[in-house]
């Protein structure tokens, strides 16, 4: 060990003294192969960097600085003791810049090959002696290429044999061995760098001998059992054999045989002495079932042989072991008074050899097996029709036209009072439904449980307990389950539980509706069932965000809620919303729905709309009134002088004469009175030609003496502005004459007599005292007004 260290140190010193390489950076020696557990010394030369302080890393882990020492300013030596890494990378670093100066790879090899084991194969076990083979294996680390040489020494034969290999196994063939001989094996490992030998290992051949598997395996039926026979290849030596039994189930599943079938608590086996053939009986086998058998043997305390090739055999149908099970499903009573009975049975395997026939006979319960109708059926189901009375369904199975087994089942009468189970509970999980119930008060012999998914195909099983597990169901499908108690020779009333799901899927799909407003939105949703067994929703989460910044917000409500109000939103902003439905089985998500909040508050828009409507109505009404008044103003006619005359309009104290209706509306009841006098002038304008002279003279008024002023009116009673200068007494003729000319159309109405005063009254004439006088007023009177008064 110290020799290696001395060599490394001397190599380092010699490299220091070497002139050409004195300024290089390196780690040496390179790519070392050492024996596991040895010590090693590595040198780091850092002359190229000019630094003197360095540190080491082994597989990127820093090594304690106390394990290295400096030989001089440019050389540092690392000493590692008991190095056992199979392969490691060692590197040298500068302490200042932490740069890699150099490195090397170190690999180790095991000290010696160990755990040597050998197996002796007798190629011809039916004869004494003969050629054999010997295969040995061992453990050894072989990272570098290793050549192995296996040396076998046979003591009695005084023969040394060798085999060579590059692996940890080697086989010697064509050996002539003796059964009681011993053998010593040594393994040598050699590389370019080293060689090593294992410790010698000695074996007794009879302890490492391995028999060949048995041959000619045979299986035969024997009165409900199976006989397994085989031929051993080492008949000259005592040994024992072991039989392995496996059973193939209906679905193809392979299981180990039950211990009761072999009569042994572990694997079946039998002891043999010098017999060449072995055999064993397998009892309690199932009819029409495929069994597989294989055998292995061992000589004394040697090594077990390999298993023989498996032999498959299908058992025959044994009449004594047929377990026929029968059940029925009864429909509701139809209008014709008949019921349909769906009969089902189990216990006759489909793959059994031979020909099977099935016959059903239905009889009244009181008739038992006598009478009745026969129906020929298929392999597993049959439909018959019965009336409302109690019946028995009898199934007879024929094998090769011989009666194999007979079984019957009871069909209750309609309305028959029978015990039944109560309080059925179900629990579903991953295509499995667990059913439990409460037994009736009467003692029962068992229960029949049937279930269906589509109502046409039924499955059923029996149980002695008040619970059962239904497996192999379709995923996410509802099932109708019926539990019926069984009594000695009758059945009870079936109790149904409907729509029990085998498993549950994600929640239903979701459709959402959004009604936005000023700073909030009302979100509602409906769920639509797309699957028959959707998971029950535990909660809903409403997710929403502004479309432009994708800042997610959410609101979670109970699974019973179907709407929510989103508040504190930004006005006139687009949002995106969706709803997540969460159940124990998963999550369903609705599609995204976009909406935009309103720009103004609808609470302010309504009052403004009402106020605007009122203002518009007032403006229209005012405009309508103005238009009506303007139209009236436009309709006032211009006075026609040709039809006008001058008259005196009396004051309220001097009312006598004719009552004139108001100018604008002749139908009104209020009247103004004009008091005319007899005309002093007989001259009448030509424009009044046609009027009665007497009539005209009657209405001539002395405006000078009566205190009245003159005015003009047209035919439609529109006034003409009078003269501004008030007349004085005696100026009547002068006033007229001043304005009278050839073109003056007005007629004078004056009289020298004083008018008779009259008291004003609505719609009638009241005379007054003649002595009363009143102030003069200017009036305009048209002749048609006088005519209208005459007509009244």
Q: Is the pLDDT of residue 692 over 70?
A: no
The residues, ordered by sequence, that sit 6+ positions from 38 with a Cβ below 8 Å of its Cβ are 1, 4, 82, 83, 108
The residue ranking higher by pLDDT, 237 or 498, is 498
Q: Are 531 and 575 in contact (CB under 8 A)?
A: no
Confidence of residue 117 (pLDDT cuts 50, 70, 90): very high
> How confident is the model over 302-315, as pLDDT tens digits?
888 889 999 998 88
Q: Are 695 and 790 in contact (CB under 8 A)?
A: yes
> How confident is the model over 316-356, as pLDDT tens digits?
877 777 788 899 999 988 889 899 999 999 877 766 767 88
Quick one: how far is CA 463 from the chain centroid?
37
Position 567 scores a pLDDT of: 86
Position 610 scores a pLDDT of: 83
Q: Is the pLDDT of residue 485 over 90?
A: yes
> How confident is the model over 640-663, as pLDDT tens digits?
666 656 555 555 555 444 444 444
Position 192 scores a pLDDT of: 76
Position 748 scores a pLDDT of: 45
Q: Is the pLDDT of residue 690 over 50?
A: no
Assign 611 to helix, strand or coil: helix
Domains of the chain: 26-109 (2.60.40.10), 114-209 (2.60.40.10), 212-319 (2.60.40.10), 322-404 (2.60.40.10), 417-503 (2.60.40.10), 511-602 (2.60.40.10)
- C-alpha angle with apex 272: 269 to 273, nearest 5 degrees? 160
Mean pLDDT within 189-195: 79
Mean pLDDT within 71-86: 88
Strands (E) across 223-309 are located at 225-231, 239-248, 254-256, 269-272, 277-282, 290-298
Q: What is the sign, positive or negative, of the torsion defined by CA atoms of 710, 711, 714, 715? A: negative
Position 268 scores a pLDDT of: 52
Least confident of 52-66, 407-421, 710-724: 710-724
Mean pLDDT within 77-105: 90
- Side-chain-side CA neighbours of 664 within 13 Å: the count stands at 4
Closest CA to 292 of 247, 226, 343: 247
Closest CA to 578 of 540, 528, 542, 527: 542
Q: What is the sign, positive or negative, of the torsion defined by CA atoms of 264, 268, 271, 277? A: positive
Distance CA 640, CA 697 (A): 21
Least confident of 108-117, 401-410, 419-428, 485-494: 108-117
Name residue 49's beta-bridge partners. Answer: none
Neighbours of 583 (CB within 10 A): 19
Place of tokens 């020799």: 3
Position 13 scores a pLDDT of: 45
Mean pLDDT within 212-220: 86
Mean pLDDT within 387-413: 88
Distance CA 115, CA 578 (A): 69
The residue ranking higher by pLDDT, 373 or 401, is 401
> How confident is the model over 566-592, as pLDDT tens digits?
888 888 888 889 998 888 777 888 888
Confidence of residue 671 (pLDDT cuts 50, 70, 90): very low
Q: Which two tokens stand for residue 285?
A: 């086998």
The chain-wide mean pLDDT, for the chain, equals 75
Confidence of residue 186 (pLDDT cuts 50, 70, 90): very high
> How confident is the model over 720-758, as pLDDT tens digits?
444 444 444 443 333 433 344 444 454 444 444 444 444
Position 677 scores a pLDDT of: 43
Distance CA 295, CA 214 (A): 7
Q: Is the pLDDT of residue 364 over 90?
A: no
Quick one: how far is CA 316 from the chain centroid?
52
* Ramachandran assignment for 336, one of left (phi > 0), alpha (psi -120 to 50 degrees), beta (any other): alpha
Position 632 scores a pLDDT of: 79
Closest CA to 598 of 576, 572, 569, 574: 572
> How confident is the model over 779-788, as pLDDT tens digits?
555 555 555 5
Q: Is the pLDDT of residue 81 over 70?
A: yes
**Most confident region among 49-58, 488-497, 529-538 by mean pLDDT:** 488-497
- C-alpha angle with apex 293: 292 to 294, nearest 5 degrees? 135
Closest CA to 401 of 344, 370, 358, 371: 358
The residue ranking higher by pLDDT, 696 or 401, is 401
Position 79 scores a pLDDT of: 92
Distance CA 592, CA 514 (A): 11
Position 787 scores a pLDDT of: 54
The residue ranking higher by pLDDT, 682 or 438, is 438
Q: Is the pLDDT of residue 703 over 70?
A: no
Q: Are 133 and 172 in contact (CB under 8 A)?
A: yes
Position 700 scores a pLDDT of: 38
Mean pLDDT within 161-181: 82
Confidence of residue 371 (pLDDT cuts 50, 70, 90): low
Exposure string over 715-752, b if 16+ CB within 10 A, otherwise e = bbbbbbebeeeebeeeebeebbeeebeeeebbbbbbbe
Distance CA 256, CA 270 (A): 18
Distance CA 308, CA 785 (A): 149
Quick one: how far is CA 372 from the chain centroid?
57
Confidence of residue 369 (pLDDT cuts 50, 70, 90): low
Whether residue 457 has a cis bond before it, omega within 30° of 0: no
Q: Is the pLDDT of residue 91 over 50?
A: yes
Q: Is the pLDDT of residue 679 over 60?
A: no
Mean pLDDT within 40-64: 86
């Amino acid at each position: 060990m110290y020799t290696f260290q001395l060599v490394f140190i001397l190599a380092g010193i010699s490299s220091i003294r070497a002139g050409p390489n004195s300024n290089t950076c390196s780690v040496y020696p390179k790519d070392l192969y050492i024996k596991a557990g040895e010590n090693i010394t590595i040198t780091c030369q850092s002359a190229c960097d000019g630094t003197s302080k360095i540190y080491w890393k082994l597989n990127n882990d820093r090594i304690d600085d106390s394990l290295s020492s400096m030989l001089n300013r440019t050389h540092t030596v690392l000493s590692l003791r008991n190095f056992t890494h199979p392969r490691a990378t060692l590197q040298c670093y500068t302490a200042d810049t932490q740069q890699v100066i150099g490195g090397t790879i170190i690999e180790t090899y095991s000290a010696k090959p160990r755990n040597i084991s050998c197996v002796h194969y007798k190629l011809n076990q039916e004869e004494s002696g003969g050629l054999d083979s010997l295969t040995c294996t061992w453990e050894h680390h072989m990272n570098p290429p290793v050549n192995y040489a296996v040396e076998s020494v046979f003591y009695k034969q005084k023969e040394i044999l060798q085999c060579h290999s590059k692996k940890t196994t080697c086989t010697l063939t064509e050996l002539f061995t003796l059964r009681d001989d011993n053998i010593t094996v040594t393994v040598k490992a050699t590389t370019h760098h080293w060689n090593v030998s294992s410790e010698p290992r000695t074996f007794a051949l009879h302890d490492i001998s391995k028999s060949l598997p048995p041959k000619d395996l045979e299986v035969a039926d024997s009165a409900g059992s199976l006989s397994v026979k085989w031929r051993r290849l080492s008949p000259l030596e005592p040994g024992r054999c072991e039989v392995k039994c496996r059973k193939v189930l209906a679905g193809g599943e392979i299981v180990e045989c039950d211990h009761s079938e072999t009569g042994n608590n572990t694997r079946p086996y039998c002891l043999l002495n010098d017999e060449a053939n072995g055999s064993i009986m397998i009892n309690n086998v199932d009819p029409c079932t495929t069994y597989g058998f294989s055998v292995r043997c061992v000589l004394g305390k040697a090594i077990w042989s390999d298993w023989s090739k498996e032999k498959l055999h299908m058992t025959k149908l044994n009449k004594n072991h047929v377990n026929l099970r029968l059940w029925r499903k009864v429909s509701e009573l139809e209008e014709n008074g008949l019921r349909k009975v769906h009969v089902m049975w189990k216990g006759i395997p489909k793959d059994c050899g031979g020909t099977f026939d099935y016959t059903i006979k239905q009889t009244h319960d009181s008739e038992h097996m006598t009478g009745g109708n026969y129906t020929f059926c298929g392999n597993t189901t049959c439909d018959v029709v019965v009336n409302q009375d109690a019946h028995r369904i009898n199934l007879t199975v024929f094998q090769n036209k011989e009666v194999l087994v007979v079984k019957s089942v009871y069909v209750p009468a309609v309305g028959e009072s029978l015990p039944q189970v109560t309080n059925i509970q179900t629990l579903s999980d991953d295509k499995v439904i667990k059913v439990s119930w409460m037994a009736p008060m009467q003692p029962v012999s068992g229960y029949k449980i049937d279930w269906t998914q589509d109502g046409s195909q039924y499955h059923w099983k029996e149980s002695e307990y008040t619970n059962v597990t239904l497996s192999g169901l379709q995923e996410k499908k509802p099932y109708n389950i019926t539990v019926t108690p069984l009594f000695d020779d009758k059945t009870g009333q079936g109790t149904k539980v409907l729509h029990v799901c085998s498993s549950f899927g994600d929640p239903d799909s979701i459709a959402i509706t959004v009604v936005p407003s000023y700073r909030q939105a009302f979100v509602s949703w409906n769920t639509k069932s797309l699957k028959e067994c959707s998971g029950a929703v535990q909660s809903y989460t409403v997710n929403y965000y502004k479309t432009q910044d994708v800042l997610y917000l959410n609101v979670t409500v109970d699974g019973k809620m179907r709407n929510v109000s989103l508040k504190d939103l930004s006005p006139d902003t687009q949002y995106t919303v969706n709803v997540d439905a969460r159940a124990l089985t998963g999550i369903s998500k609705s599609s995204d729905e976009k909406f935009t909040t309103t720009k103004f508050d609808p609470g302010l828009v309504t009052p403004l709309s009402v106020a605007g409507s009122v203002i518009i109505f007032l403006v229209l009404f005012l405009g309508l009134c103005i238009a009506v008044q303007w139209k009236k103003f436009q309709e006032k006619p211009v006075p026609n002088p040709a039809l006008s005359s001058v008259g005196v309009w009396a004051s309220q104290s001097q009312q006598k004469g004719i009552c004139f209706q108001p100018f604008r509306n002749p139908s009104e009841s209020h009247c103004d009175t004009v008091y005319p006098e007899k005309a002093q002038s007989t001259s009448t304008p030509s424009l009044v030609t046609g009027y009665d002279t007497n009539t005209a003279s009657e209405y001539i008024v002395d405006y000078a003496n009566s205190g009245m002023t003159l005015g003009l009116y047209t035919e439609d009673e529109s006034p003409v502005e009078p003269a501004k200068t008030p007349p004085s007494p005696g100026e009547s003729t002068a006033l007229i004459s001043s304005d009278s000319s050839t073109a003056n159309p007005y007629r004078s109405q004056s009289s020298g007599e004083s008018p008779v005063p009259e008291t004003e009254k609505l719609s009638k004439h009241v005379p007054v005292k003649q002595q009363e006088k009143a102030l003069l007023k200017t009036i305009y009177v048209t002749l048609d007004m006088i005519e209208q008064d005459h007509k009244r």
